[in-house]
Structure 1
Amino acid sequence: MGLVVPLPNGAWLNAVFYKSHIPDLGTIESLASTIAAALVLCLFGFISTRRIARPLQALAQAAEGLGRGEGVSPVTERGSDDIRNLCVAFNQMQHRLHRFIDDRTRMLAAIGHDLRTPLTTLRLRTELVADEELKARMVETIEEMQAMTAATLTFSKNDAAVEDTRNVDLGALVGSLCDDMAELGHDIAFVDSGVIAYRCRPDGLKRAVRNLIENACRYADSATVSLALTGNSVDICVDDQGPGIPLEEIEQVFAPFYRLEQSRSRETGGVGLGLSIARAIARQHGGNIHFSPNTPGLHAVLSLPRI
């Protein structure tokens, strides 16, 4: 510090003060202990967060796999009491869901199998009817019931079959299906969208897309198939120029054995399980199927969640 003061006699007083800085060792030690304590707390928080996050992450992955219809092993019951109870509840829910699906599948298979015997008996007794016109109508009805029974058995068997999921090129999968159906005489145009890697059950997904294409070809004689990537989904689109579906029946067509074609002819309307099976497969993958007018025709979208 410097000080300069004028004196009355005209002279100047100059003064300088200097003191060396002595560090405060107590402050440095306090700062070091604070930093060390903060580091210890951060490390403890990180370990605690990881301990909580790991079982939650495993539970989230298991829930995602279960929602996509994959075979998921029971989640390890670990972590805090609340997280452990959550894992226990999830494992119980998964067991109940599988048991419900198995019971339903066995019931459908049993019903379809048991119906074969009385239908065969009715068919034999029909041969004793003298009226040929009545006999033909009865035979047609019995054949329709037999076709519905066979379709129910097929549906239950496919529902019971567990196909492993694997990564595939979705564009190549749909493209090869369109080529195969085109070789069978269907008028199908496929719009190639490049390589789209996706994890799915390929056989089941091909069956769902095939049902949509066959539905379009049945009523419109042709179909255009394309793939599109959106923010949250991968869409397989099937467009046709046919008569379409009335708005009030767009959701009803997904009901089992529901047919728009009122003549009940198996040649023109099938048995009414194709769209039900297609939507069931889509939902097993965590997706869905939606219909909308194509003006003219129908715009069908099989939407799958992006992974």
Structure 2
Amino acid sequence: MTFAGFLRRLVPRGLLGRALLIILVPLVVLQVIALYLFYGSHLDVISRRLAAAVSGDVAMVVELLSRHPREEERGWIFREAAWRLDLSLAFEQGAVLGPASHRGASLPLLPLEEDLDDAMRERVRLPFDTDWQSDPRSVIIRVQLPDGVLHVEAARKRLFSGTLYLFVIWVVGSALLLFLVAALFMKNQVRAIRRLAEASEAFGRGRDLGPMKPEGAAEARQAALAFNSMQGRIRRFVESRTEMLAGISHDLRTPLTRLRLGLAMLPESAQADAQAMTQDVEEMDRLIAAYLSFARGEGIEQAAPADLAELVGEAAAKARRDGALVDLALPGEPIVLPVRADALRRCLGNLLDNARRHARRIAVALSRVPRGEAGTWAVVTVDDDGPGIPEAQREEAFKPFASFSSGGTGLGLAIARDIARAHGGDIVLEDSPLGGLRARVRLPA
């Protein structure tokens, strides 16, 4: 995997995550730069100055003790140091510093220990060590004198500036506050876009949820209004098409009825030709009724939860009643989907009728297959042992009244694909294990 591909995997895929990343990355970079400048300049200077002040006081005490070594003078020096310099002193007569008595600081990220050691070496110029661990409020400094060890206890606050805590709290607090405000704001904006996507998906599957309520930013509101307008135009188009087809059906069925009556009144000598013509008239009437029924269902029927396994079983049972040999394989659990049940029955019925006209054996199966992060597909396969359709001509088979050497398709496959696509799915034709044609219907589950 390339470095660019690795970075793309780290970047969030959602709009909310990417928007927050765009806000958060510059903020973190800015805060890191500010912290570095503070830590590398201001804090360093303050730490060196505080360490120099403490080591200077210790050096003054050491110098006074060297000039006034008597017992009574040492007591006076200790009292004055405690009062004027805020240092607690003690002297251990005849003691010697151990070689491994040095202890590290309890705040390793700060330069306190290093700055204090540098200042002590510069000002005291005697062997010493520091203890940062024994007392959480003080730093113990031990200095080797000619006749013993001087113990100096200095308050830790003399070496440490509380502005570091304030600065860190400000940096982290402001970053968290800005991130929280940005997250709440962006969540509202993304929610409007997500609702628009859900409404588009539902409308594409035939569920009428009504007009969307515009919300969010101006662009999101504009998109919602455009969607409402588009939804209204599509609904009016479907309604007008349904009314037009109803009118065409009425106008066509009237002359078809007259033709049927005329053919029935022909003399017996012409009944053989009349019977063939009557079958053609009935086929025309069936095609008109099928497409009109589909168009009306598309415009009127609303999607509702239904068990796909039950619908497949009903279609297989109807095909058996019509004389087909159907093998059925269903899952052990129901597959409930929001579908237009009558339209889906028509889709499955058209596929089975098409297989029944060209084959002797039919196998119907229902299963679930994954479709990545989007969920699963509910897949219905209809296999037959008929002559099939050449691979190069399978897409043409979905066009109305397509004709092949094995026979025609009429409107059945075209209507079936329209219904599947209206539910957010599709139909593809493949080679069947039975030797004929396989129609694979997939619907989002």
Shorter-chain TM-score above 0.5:
yes
SS of structure 2 residue aligned to 1:303: strand
Does residue 239 in structure 1 map to residue 383 in structure 2? Answer: yes
**What is the aligned partner in structure 2 of residue 148 from structure 1?**
287
Match of 1:67 in 2: 204
The CA deviation at 1:289 is 0.9
User: Normalising to structure 1: TM-score of the pair?
Assistant: 0.82
- Which residue identity does 1:157 align to in structure 2? R
* Separation of aligned partners in 1, 2:275 and 2:179: 84
1:171–1:194 contact (8 Å) kept in structure 2: no
Q: 1:152 to 1:30 in 2, by over 3 A?
A: closer
Is residue 281 of structure 1 aligned with residue 416 of structure 2?
no
8 Å CA contact retained: 1:69, 1:286: no
Please state how far the C-alpha of 1:187 moved relative to its aligned partner.
1.1
CA offset at residue 33 of structure 1? 3.4
**Residues 185-208 of structure 1 deviation map (CA, whole Å, 9 limit, x = unaligned):** 421111122223323222322221
2:347–2:420 CA contact under 8 A, matched in 1: yes
Measure, in 1, the Cα distance between the counterparts of 2:389 and 2:403.
Answer: 11
Q: How many residues align?
A: 294
Structure 2: which amino acid aligns with 1:288? D
User: Do 2:208 and 2:302's aligned partners in 1 also have CA atoms closer than 8 Å?
Assistant: no
**Residue aligning to 2:221:** 84
- On the 8 A contact 2:387/2:406 being kept in 1, the answer is no
User: Secondary structure of the residue that 2:332 maps to in structure 1?
Assistant: coil
Q: Percent identity?
A: 34
- Out of 207-216 and 17-26, give the one that drifted further: 17-26
- Indicate whether 1:257 and 2:395 are aligned: no
Q: Who is 1:199 aligned against?
A: 338
Within 2, Cα distance between the matches of 1:299 and 1:262? 15
> Which residue pairs with 1:24 in the alignment?
161
Q: Could you tell me which amino acid in structure 2 is paired with residue 237 of structure 1?
A: T
Q: 2:430 aligns with which of 286, 292, 299?
A: 292
Say which of 289, 292, 304 aligns to 2:443.
304
- List alignment gaps of at least 5 residues for structure 2: 1-140, 372-376
State how 1:92-171 maps to structure 2 within 5 Å. 92-122=229-259, 132=270, 139-166=278-305, 168-171=306-309
Structure 2 partner of 1:266: none
Q: Helix, strand or coil: the match of 1:85? A: helix
Distance 1:173 1:61, change over 3 A: same
- Once residues 269 and 325 of structure 2 are traced to their aligned partners in structure 1, the CA distance between those partners, rounded to angstroms, is 43
CA distance in 2: counterparts of 1:40 and 1:148, whole angstroms: 66
Write the letter of the residue equivalent to 1:155: F
What is the SS of the residue equivalent to 1:230? strand
Q: 1:260, CA displacement in angstroms?
A: 4.0
Q: Cα gap change, 1:153/1:261 in structure 2, threshold over 3 Å: closer, same or farther?
A: farther
Provide the TM-score with structure 2 as the length reference.
0.59
Deviates more, 1:241-250 or 1:137-146: 137-146
Q: Matched residues in 2 for 1:24 and 1:242: separation?
A: 89
SS at match of 2:439: strand
**In the alignment, is residue 51 of structure 1 matched against residue 188 of structure 2?**
yes
Q: What letter corresponds to residue 21 of structure 1 in structure 2?
A: R
In structure 2, what is the equivalent of residue 33 of structure 1?
170
Partner of 1:8: none
The runs of at least 4 aligned residues of structure 1 exceeding 6 Å deviation read 128-131
Task: Provide, for residues 101-146 of structure 1, a one-character-per-residue CA deviation record: whole Å limited to 9, x for no partner.
Answer: 2222222222222122333445566667999376666555444433
Report SS of the residue matched to 1:79: coil
Maintained 8 Å contact 2:358/2:406: no
Higher relative contact order (CA 8 A, sep 6+): 1
Question: Which position in structure 2 is the counterpart of 1:215?
Answer: 354
Question: How much has 1:274 moved relative to structure 2?
Answer: 1.9
- DSSP 3-state at the match of 1:103: helix
- Distance of 2:188 and 2:161 partners within structure 1: 41
- Offset at 1:237? 0.4
